[in-house]
Amino acid sequence: MNTRLAGVLWDMDGTLLDSEKLWDIAVRDLAVELGSEMTDEIRRSLIGASGPNALRIVFTGLGLDPDPEAMRAAGGFLERRVTELMAEPIPWRPGAKDALAMVRAAGLPSALVTNTKRSLAEFGLDTLGREYFDASVCGDEVPHGKPDPAVYLRAAELLGLDPKTCVAVEDSPTGAASAEAAGCAVLVVPCEIAVPEAPTRSQRDSLVALSVTDLHDVLRTRYPLDQA
């Protein structure tokens, strides 16, 4: 099989937008609301997690009873706080805007693939620009969020593409695992935490000066025997 690059699937928080810092404020405020204090260890474990998983991590990490009603209330608090923080334009990650424009100019289909729920992801799309994406999939629109592959499989389906022909751009171990499980080639651009290196993954320090050739190289790293 000759696998050629057909599309690009973009994570949002920490990859295109520097929004993890906003989430950091929100989850630390949540810990205070719950009568505790967020540790750096718990905070790091939340990066890339889906909403339900994140709440479970918070309650377990803080030694709280994961009572369903208490978790629902915590989820509501977190959503309100993040909404407040995202109401203003969200800072971009270095090179991200140019990278989106480069992929669009190259005629490659793109999708936004995020664990963030739809109501909050819309704020991110306001900053990013919907014209850069042919589809978007959020964590609350699939049975299970990242690291489950469902979000990436759905995004490729919406684009009409085989996941093996797509490059996913991610910043977290959770997101990278999700994309790999879906069959995508993965370009890792770490943000808040390090992502383990692997022979099948490509890594770079930022999206600055990213090119189509670079994306082809990412696919070749994952599927070297499939290249012509």
| Dist CA 87 CA 76 (whole Å) | 16
**For 17-55, what is each residue's pLDDT tens digit?**
998 788 888 889 999 999 998 888 888 888 767 667 788
**For 121-178, what is each residue's pLDDT tens digit?**
999 999 999 999 999 999 999 999 999 999 999 999 999 999 999 999 999 999 999 9
| Dist CA 18 CA 11 (whole Å) | 12
Q: Which residues contact 80 (CB under 8 A, 6 or more apart)?
A: none
Query: For residues 222 and 1, is the Cβ–Cβ distance under 8 A?
Result: no
Here the tokens at position 4 are 């050629």
> Does the pLDDT at position 1 exceed 60?
no
Give the burial string for 31-50 (b: 16+ CB within 10 Å, else e): beebebebeeebbebbbbbb
Query: For residues 193 and 47, is the Cβ–Cβ distance under 8 A?
Result: yes
Query: For residues 202 and 217, is the Cβ–Cβ distance under 8 A?
Result: yes
| Dist CA 175 CA 48 (whole Å) | 6
